[in-house]
């Protein structure tokens, strides 16, 4: 029996086309800018987002940190969502390594930061206070449930940034899921932003890698930041080869993951005892009202041991579960999961 792993889209393996491209990739020393496959990936990423340049980084976390180090000086502060990945799940790298002060702003249920809240969080011109220099949003918003932010909202934040003299960074780890959800071109979701990070792993199935895009002078500074963080890679084209397939092919099929997530939510919602808490893009959250005497941990364990289905209990013992669809979860897998949950709860 094959394992059905719904814990996250980060568990997705590279496709066979990626493995073949990796074996064939033409390589060079990327620290010398000599790797043609990396150069191609960076050029294509920049073009896709309508920016001048891009830099290939090892992870989304490294991309976000390079962006903040390239945009901000020590003692400057940034406006950032209070449940955002940058604020909560990156070890406060900006403060640890860059002397940058995060100013958290409440993330709304729709994944957005209110413009009024942003305005109020800007430091006044006062020598007691860290000077606000940047605003950042996250698209899709991970902790809010994979919620995509629209082109219109992005444009509003860009206007806000411009009129307040702030720079604007987007953590677009799953920006292609947002593009698929709204059926828009990726560059429309980056318009007015000074920089954007996105992941080639996760739903796009590359084994490693993210990109940071922006203007040429910014990317030059970001490249310096990447080097000091130990992110200068040599024959990285072997990874970029998979990245090119992620960028050109895999991003175009994400709507399939979204419809599978929808089918999963619909199927689960018909099982007595299951309540769907939310379903956006490739994310599904459900809770159990009657766990049939099982704790959340026990329920997940039974799914794993009896059906080889992996899901993430989320929020401890409250019986909330997080599932994420990806390339390796097909319709048959969705049907199996619905059957297994039904069987365990009957």
Ligand X SMILES: *Cc1c(COP(=O)(O)O)cnc(C)c1O
Contact residues toward ligand X (CB under 6 A) are 59-61, 85, 138, 142, 171, 173, 199, 210
Shortest Cβ 345–ligand X spacing (Å): 30
The smaller minimum CB distance to ligand X, of residues 54 and 274, is found at 54
The smaller minimum CB distance to ligand X, of residues 60 and 237, is found at 60
Shortest Cβ 336–ligand X spacing (Å): 26
Q: Which of 97, 59, 60, 16 is closest to 236 using CA atoms?
A: 59
Distance of alpha carbon 23 from alpha carbon 19, whole angstroms: 6
Query: Tokens 């990285």 map to which residue?
Result: 236
3-state secondary structure of 338: helix
The smaller minimum CB distance to ligand X, of residues 3 and 91, is found at 91
Shortest Cβ 269–ligand X spacing (Å): 25
H helix runs in 172-215, sequence order:
175-182
φ, ψ (nearest 5 deg) of residue 291:
-85, 15
Total residue count of the chain as it appears in this document: 346
Shortest Cβ 170–ligand X spacing (Å): 10
Distance of alpha carbon 288 from alpha carbon 271, whole angstroms: 10
Q: Which two tokens stand for residue 185?
A: 């071109």
The smaller minimum CB distance to ligand X, of residues 64 and 279, is found at 64
Asked whether the beta carbons of 178 and 140 are under 8 A apart, the reply is yes
Shortest Cβ 112–ligand X spacing (Å): 14
Specify the pairing of strand 210-214 against strand 167-171: unpaired
The smaller minimum CB distance to ligand X, of residues 80 and 101, is found at 80
Shortest Cβ 142–ligand X spacing (Å): 4
Chain residue at closest Cβ approach to ligand X = 60
Asked whether the beta carbons of 191 and 228 are under 8 A apart, the reply is no
């Amino acid at each position: 029996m094959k394992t059905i792993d719904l814990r996250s889209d980060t568990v997705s393996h590279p496709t066979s086309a990626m493995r073949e491209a990796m074996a064939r990739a033409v390589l060079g020393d990327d620290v010398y800018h000599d790797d043609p496959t990396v150069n191609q990936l960076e050029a294509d990423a920049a073009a896709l987002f309508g920016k001048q340049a891009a830099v290939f980084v090892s992870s989304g976390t490294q991309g976000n940190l390079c962006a903040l180090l390239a945009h901000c000086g020590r003692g400057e502060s940034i406006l950032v969502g209070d449940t955002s990945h940058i604020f909560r799940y990156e070890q406060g790298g900006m403060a640890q390594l860059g002397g940058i002060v995060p100013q958290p702003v409440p993330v709304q249920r729709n994944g957005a930061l209110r413009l009024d809240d942003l305005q109020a969080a800007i430091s006044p011109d006062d020598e007691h206070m860290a000077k606000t220099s940047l605003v950042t949003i996250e698209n899709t918003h991970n902790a809010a449930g994979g919620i995509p932010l629209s082109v219109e909202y992005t444009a509003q934040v860009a206007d806000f940034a411009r009129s307040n003299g702030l720079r604007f960074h987007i953590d677009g780890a799953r920006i292609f899921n947002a593009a698929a959800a709204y059926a828009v071109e990726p560059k429309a979701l980056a318009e007015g932003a000074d920089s954007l990070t996105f992941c080639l792993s996760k739903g796009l199935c590359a084994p490693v890698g993210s990109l940071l895009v922006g203007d040429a002078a910014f990317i030059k500074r970001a490249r310096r930041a990447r080097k000091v963080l130990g992110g200068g890679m040599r024959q990285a084209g072997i990874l970029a080869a998979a990245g090119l397939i992620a960028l050109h092919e895999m991003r175009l099929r994400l709507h399939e993951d979204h419809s599978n997530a929808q089918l999963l939510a619909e199927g689960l919602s018909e099982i007595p005892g299951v309540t769907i808490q939310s379903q956006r893009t490739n994310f599904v959250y459900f809770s159990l009202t009657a766990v049939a005497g099982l704790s959340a941990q026990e329920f997940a364990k039974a799914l794993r041991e009896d059906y080889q289905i992996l899901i993430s209990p989320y929020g401890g013992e409250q019986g909330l579960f997080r599932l994420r669809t990806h390339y390796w979860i097909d319709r048959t897998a969705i049907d199996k999961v619905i059957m297994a949950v039904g069987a365990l709860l009957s």
